[in-house]
Structure 1
């Protein structure tokens, strides 16, 4: 019998730990899977870790923490056939560069933990040294394939069902009564918009005191998230005076929160996909429009948009049937990531898998030290990291000032207003917002 192939994931923050653990938990007995939680400034707390592992399929004893100075030796000892890098773009680029120097070099796999429409240049650029890039829908795969060709950055993409959104049918018992709100750290970004949502939650709770409105927080106060959150909903709600008793916050896992849900409210959280998989309806709030920066185009295409009045009335939506197959609910047999990963491992063992070349960049070793220091923080105690930080912070500030000045000058140019006009289908010009004109400018996890 062929020995199990060894796969190790490296993750740090909440959303990536959840994704990596759930992904590895879908593998069968032909794989020996484990997860290393890397200590970075974004690393999950013990409570977060327990929550993210709950129901994910990867046993707790297969998960351990590791400090940066020990990571490469741990990977070398485990002689992993494949390493899944689960983290924000800068962390993935730094780790891929380091892991490429291991002998034997493992197959380097990466991916994004949720909705990844539209495809962005940054997501690809950060992952150029990875051998395989996992996506979660046919649509995502098409968009990333097209973008990689346009950028001239070849990449292998594979399909993997979003692991914590596997279709499981209706929840046992059904009949939940909670309106569960799934917030995001950076969507919407403006305080005024987030305060508008907070007021909406109060309205929804006041409309029916017999049913709860649950704000499903991703972290307790003091815990870190993948993206830093300004204007958290507990803080915003605290500014609104006395709150309805049926408006509550919860730091339980999303899986637990959905067990008592009637439906889910979000702007664009992947919780919407998780809810659909369990047969729950959704409202994707339409108060701020539809734009790449809101990461809600794919939910709009599903017919899930709803107004604030819909939220108060709990008039939830279900996705159009035609949408499902192309967006996260394809047939299980369409998933090819495990097979493609196995093929790459075989190619590596045979000596025919060439490593992916790093993207050429200005700065050399000092740039590498800067990236390592900014990603790892106090975990990087090297002199090179300290030097790069000392030089890099003022340099980056100067560069940003130059870019800001150039944008200001460009905005005053006579033709700037002309560029902001585009002809509509009737031949008349229409004003185009910056968010709709630049589809690759997003705030989601890169």
Structure 2
């Protein structure tokens, strides 16, 4: 499994497990060999490569873990060793790997099944992201709504939609919400969790506003605990760049914070175990919360706008403002909307991956699989594809650029140490520029 960020590692690793081992009560899983459940992890080197802490927080272990470039991944993948390859990356990276693997596997009848998909809610760049993923054997859609849209896009450009398979988010789960449990806690009014996002909203004023409203909610409700669930620590990167971490914003709030307010890290599933109201702008955490039956609010304070992603929740029954929440309002989700969006409440989740698992098993058992055939080729996208491939170390024909995939011997000893040191220094400089220098330059430009 190849991933390029902490959230995509979570999605990819859990998806791999669900596709191979299934659920504990699935009869089709009986007698499957131990080798089939083994996971080898590859982390695509880049600005969002997860740290050890971020990987541990996800809670998914791999038999081995290796950081690679795109060209190194294609070179390292042994087509005879693996049954399934999950590409859990941004669209451009998926497209580059598909071309690289197609070139590497040309002329071979047997190869792994290639699976890809999306980490969560698909609310922007639908056509762009989907066409960059075309060429995988299986493109997973997290809901019936997404599956219909995905097939329409592929059909609309004359590409085969057969790869699209409906499933659900692999990290849904946990105990159903029990409202009685909050009465036994330190704060009998319950725990309100504000699940923040690295890039939504993307400016200091809006992020400070949302943070201030969360603090005010804590002050107005002393019998409630208010948690701000953070995605990363300062200096770490997630799927999206976080220029204005909430940890820094909270330190500048006038009047400080009350005792019943705090910042929180950790696995989202564990946080939801003691959540009585989940508040967010458009985080996928809302779907996790709805799956458990936890009251869930999608904020409208900053408007309902595509750039925020909360337009995805139109018709959900979850839209609300901090003013309404301050007044005691608890949104009630629309069952029809929840069903269409793949939340899979109750027993439906047990079978959500059956179709995908069956498709992967059938492909893996085939005597021959043709090389991946993406829609984008030098003929269909001559002004776009070479840039995508070049970004990940490939030439227009899918072969690694000279020097992009050094052999193991060349990467050994002192050279490897120096290269790793330089890489960490470059990452540190990049993060410093994003989180400190860039905001200062923008402020100076506004003078």
TM range (shorter): 0.7 to 0.9
1:302 to 316, 324, 328: 316
Q: Distance in 2 between matches of 1:130 and 1:357?
A: 10
1:34 equivalent to 2:53? Answer no
TM-score, scaled to structure 1 = 0.74
**Relative contact order higher in (CA < 8 Å, ≥ 6 apart):** 2
Kindly provide the CA deviation profile for residues 12-60 of structure 1, in whole angstroms up to 9, marking residues without a partner as x. 201101111222232425343414131333111111101112xxxx5x2
2:336 to 307, 322, 327: 322
Kindly provide the CA deviation profile for residues 355-398 of structure 1, in whole angstroms up to 9, marking residues without a partner as x. 44543333699635631159xxxxx996679xxxxxxxxxxxxx
Q: How does 1:245-324 map to 2 (within 5 A)?
A: 245-324=259-338
1:146 to 143, 148, 152: 152
1:93 equivalent to 2:95? Answer yes
- Aligned match of 2:238: 225
Shift of 1:87: 1.0
1:10 equivalent to 2:2? Answer yes
- Aligned match of 1:203: 216
Q: Do 1:204 and 1:313's aligned partners in 2 also have CA atoms closer than 8 Å?
A: no
Q: Distance in 2 between matches of 1:20 and 1:171?
A: 30
Larger deviation, residues 116-125 vs 12-21: 116-125
2:50 to 44, 48, 69: 44
Q: Do 1:263 and 1:281's aligned partners in 2 also have CA atoms closer than 8 Å?
A: yes
Q: Do 2:288 and 2:343's aligned partners in 1 also have CA atoms closer than 8 Å?
A: no
Contiguous gaps of at least 5 residues in structure 1 = 1-8, 375-379, 386-446
- Aligned match of 2:363: 344
Q: Do 1:76 and 1:102's aligned partners in 2 also have CA atoms closer than 8 Å?
A: no
| Distance change >3 Å, CA 358–CA 167, structure 1 → 2 | same
Q: Do 1:119 and 1:144's aligned partners in 2 also have CA atoms closer than 8 Å?
A: no
Larger deviation, residues 64-73 vs 323-332: 64-73
Q: How does 1:106-125 map to 2 (within 5 A)?
A: 106-117=112-123, 120-125=126-131
Q: Distance in 2 between matches of 1:45 and 1:67?
A: 14
Q: Do 2:111 and 2:369's aligned partners in 1 also have CA atoms closer than 8 Å?
A: no
TM-score, scaled to structure 2 = 0.74
Runs of 4+ in 1 over 6 A off after TM superposition: none
Give the length in aligned residue pairs. Answer: 366
Q: Distance in 2 between matches of 1:78 and 1:174?
A: 51
Q: Distance in 2 between matches of 1:172 and 1:163?
A: 25
Q: Distance in 2 between matches of 1:329 and 1:355?
A: 32
